[in-house]
Structure 1
Amino acid sequence: MEKSNTTLRRRLTTAAVVILRIVIGATFILSGWAKAIDPWGTVYKITEYLDVWDMDVPRALVTSFTFLLSAWEFVWGALLLAGTYRRVSVISLLLCMAGMLPLSLYIAIASPVADCGCFGDLLIVSNTGTFIKNVIITAALIYLLAHNTRVRQLYTTHTQWIVGGVLTFYILLIALIGYNIQPLVDFRRFSPGTSLLTDESEGEEGDDEAEAVYSFIYTRDGLTRSFTADQLPDSTWTFVERKLESGSENIDDGLTVTVDGEDILPDILMPDGDTPLAEQFIVTIPQPYDVDLSFTNLINDLNDYIAERGGTLTAFIAGDSAAIDRWMDISMASYDIYRVEPNLIKELARGTSALVYLREGTVVWKRTLSSIDPAETGRHAASRLDETLDPAPGKMLRYINWSLAGLLLLIWLFDLLLPREKATATSPSGPSASPVSSTESTDK
């Protein structure tokens, strides 16, 4: 009877460890991958926290921390799921939770930000839900700390360091592409394939209530003020949030360009009033004082190219009239420039400056200006520059993912060829405990 109970207890422990490895490992994989796929979004979220705490941290440090955090969560989460580095993986994730758990308690109580940003724009979790999630994760990791080495790993100690290196290279590559070009997967509202023209018929039956009116909350030097859409402050103010004052928020869920209190985006996309232009470029500049001035020549070349094809180039800038006048002066712009709410610009495209290509009002692709070789505009100006500049993120991600899967499979097959000696581990229940790999003694 005692032997039967011991066997049952051992099997339940094994099942619990396997389940927790999968669930907790997958959670960290998803969290790290979501942060890495859109590093700019993570930078913006961390900056929100820093603004609330009135901390001025250089963006380079925030960006470096973003890369480190996403890689830490993804790599150790994947190693935990595979049962590799059975002790160190659990300890590393517990160290992560040592910071995340009190932080989530703070945001659950004080609500300094709308959401924690744990999973980027992929999955929005409430502040209270985030704290509950972190409590469960921490408890599960404590259990794994005691029992994780009782179950064998997928990769042995001979190859686990290679697996860790491959996973680290993969996630950093994903993050670098997302930071320097654009996220390989766009979870925001204005993703490729989305029309920027809203369906006006949705609001026809709602009369006055159909039109949403927002106020925009900004802060500077401890002072918080509310502004209307056509009276946004200069770049010395920090955006906090957008509040719905009246109307239906569900209807006003698109991009808006407000001039004198009226949305003129349809006029920009459909200058003749009937159909959108066949081709258009939109340049997004969320922080006009941080843009490399050398991009002005590139933008002018792009404007010449699209104009020859019957399209237009329009710049969306976040800033006051002084910022727009400065940009027009230094760029000698012959294209239209409009002031747009900063968060909308950041949601449309990532980066300090980016290019969005539209076909009949629908987003086709986007990329940062820094990722465009200026020589391309001259070499392909008479051909299909719009196709040449398309980063094809879906194709790129599939290639990277299949390469990762292939490498991990090859390492696993190679691991099978290596000798795996068996030894009997003695547990507190007695010498009848289940056999485990002899590599347990050297598994870190």
Structure 2
Amino acid sequence: MKYIVWISRIIVGVLFIISGWIKLNDPMGFSFKLEEYFSPGVLDLPFLTPIALGISIFVVIVEVILGILLLIGFKPKFTVWSLLLMIVFFTFLTFYSAYFNKVTDCGCFGDAVKLTPWESFTKDVILLVFILILFFGRKYITPLFTPKINWIIGGVALVACAWFANHVLNHLPTVDFRPYKIGANIQEGMSVPEGAAEPIYEYAWRFKVNGEDKIYTTAGEYPSVDGEFIDVETTEIQKGYEPPIHDFTIEQDGVDYAGKVLNLEKLMMVVAYDLKKSNYEAFKEIAEVAAKAKQNGYRVIGMSASSKEMTDELKVEYGLDFEFFFTDETTLKTIVRSNPAVLTLKKGTIQQKVHYNDLDKLTF
């Protein structure tokens, strides 16, 4: 039992630290995932949406700290009870998402590792087994160091986590796991390679035969049935290849200019997914940066999911000498974790991407 507890201790501790660190690297992204869970169509807890970021930071820091405490064997009773309560909650959440198909990606490992709902649930069940081993064998969890050193390690870890969370929120994630990272080409991210797997569908055809409704299932071909056709229901039974970028558009008056704009040699994008939530003070400096970019031959555009009325007002108020285009809010949130933010591109390849606090780092 002692050795089983040690193995479980290492597995659970390391997994919690890795999972927590990945989300701590991008707490804003995890908060967007929590907002999905809080939405009316899922858990229906809209009153938690305004504090989703705070909950995100708290949860991921706790996750990392518990992993560290488990590995050093500090406060084993508190640590194991906390791990058990956390994994029971997560297991319920992933089962609910999988069974009712509510949230297609739990965000357990951020954008680094994508898991389907059932994969997430399976992962949590396995972790639950290991944590139950720790719970019933907690007397074998002994500290690696003296209480003083354990307190120091725990305290330093807490301060480091808080500092890191503050740093990435005021700049950008240290490691970018998304398909819009610096060096990525957006057109290539949207392309489907030759020979890529295509989705497989199942068709359930309903006919009225001799006064009775009957269902005939095919892979797509129209069934030879001596009866009256009623309707057909299509079900995707196997997903095909989906490119990393599949929802990117740059629209204006219903026309998508993405293909044209992304071919520009010098392009600067000002991204503000929701102007109601933007840091307006940043637009004063953005106006200056945009003017400098234009002097250096850049085409400057704004990208937002807000209304034309709002973007027009913003342009007038801050003297923004560039036009705005519409892009889906979720896409803009995925592109960059700052509102607003600035990107520079060369023929669709992202050269620079900065938080509004780092506009002075842009080079033209």
TM-score between the two structures when normalised by the length of structure 1: 0.65
Change (3 A) 1:252 1:387: closer
Which residue type is aligned with residue 102 of structure 1?
A: F
| 1:25 aligns to 2:13 (yes or no) | yes
Map of 1:21-420 to 2, 5 A cutoff? 21-51=9-39, 52=41, 53-57=43-47, 61-198=51-188, 249-250=242-243, 253=246, 255-259=248-252, 262-271=255-264, 276-277=265-266, 280-369=267-356, 371-372=357-358, 376=360, 385-387=361-363
Offset from partner CA, 1:220-263 (integer Å, 9 cap, x none)? xxxxxxxxxxxxxxxxxxxxxxx9xxx98439647331346654
Q: Distance in 2 between matches of 1:201 and 1:151?
A: 51
Indicate the SS of the match to 2:47: coil
CA RMSD, Structure 1 to Structure 2 (Å): 2.9
CA, structure 1 residues 248+264, in 2 after alignment: closer, same or farther (shift >3 Å)? farther
Could you tell me the percent identity over the aligned residues?
A: 26
Contact 1:281–1:355 (8 Å) recurs in 2 = yes
1:375-394 deviations in whole A, cap 9, x for unaligned? x5xxxxxxxx5259xxxxxx
Task: Return the offset for 1:302.
Answer: 0.5
- Once residues 38 and 200 of structure 1 are traced to their aligned partners in structure 2, the CA distance between those partners, rounded to angstroms, is 24
C-alpha contact (below 8 Å) 1:105/1:131 kept by paired residues: yes
Contact kept in structure 2, 1:29 and 1:73, CA below 8 Å = yes
Task: Give the CA deviation at 1:173.
Answer: 2.1
The TM-score with structure 2 as length reference comes to 0.79
| Deviation of the 1:291 alpha carbon | 1.7
Q: Describe the shift of the 1:113–1:14 C-alpha distance in structure 2 as closer, same or farther (beyond 3 A).
A: same
Q: Matched residues in 2 for 1:109 and 1:188: separation?
A: 27
* Deviation string, structure 1 residues 264-299 (Cα, Å, up to 9, x no partner): 22322434xxxx22xx32111111122233222111
In 1: Cα distance, 2:122 partner to 2:194 partner: 42
Amino acid of the structure 1 residue aligned with 2:355: T
- The 1-side partners of 2:135 and 2:190 are apart by 56
Q: Which amino acid in the other structure matches residue 305 of structure 1?
A: K
Structure 2 unmatched runs, 5+: 199-235
SS in 1 for 2:306: coil
Secondary structure of 1:57's match? Answer: helix
1:442 maps to: none
Query: How many residue pairs end up in the alignment?
Result: 321
State the one-letter code of the partner of 2:259. Answer: P
Q: Separation in 2 of the partners of 1:201 and 1:104?
A: 31
CA-to-partner distance for each residue in 1:158-209, whole Å, 9 max, x for gaps? 2111111111122222222222211111111101111233389868999xx9
Q: Which amino acid aligns with 1:268?
A: V
- Contact 1:283-1:314 at 8 Å conserved across structures: yes
Alpha-carbon distance in 2 for matches of 1:205, 1:139: 41
List aligned pairs for 1:419-430, cutoff 5 A: none
